[in-house]
Structure 1
């Protein structure tokens, strides 16, 4: 499985967060601030390395969590060089915030 295939699942709508060393499958949090919490993380630098996390503080139900874990396992079992490149749009947001800070437009 590639990162793009994980992102474009037809039967399971996943929210992803890419960092330098991992990909996280996210679910909406039940806390008062909203936001997203990781339910599974998959290493981008170590093969076969993924970590399911507690889903009970999110809006995800058990079946969806099991599907997320299954997808994470499939991605983790794919060799690193066959997963493709992950597009990280976070740098654009950080650059925009920095520019707004420089221009004094918080």
Structure 2
């Protein structure tokens, strides 16, 4: 499989978003077999994470539903969001 490294923004290692990012990355690595996925973690925050994806700093980021707007998302950003549940979304530039 083709190696692909993705940068994933969440929060600092002491924050609650960090284990969610690490766990999500592990699930994707085990279940997406068309690519040899690896992830680089970058700390950020709610708005900074969405901006990081929008600016091309990261391909994935955890943010809050409030940050990304309404359902369907209406935001100033040109990227997509995958909502996991109330108040928690993954922001992505990966199609």
TM-score tier (shorter): under 0.3
Give the structure with the higher percent strand. Answer: 2
TM-score by length of 2: 0.27
Larger Rg: 1
Give the structure with the higher percent helix. Answer: 1
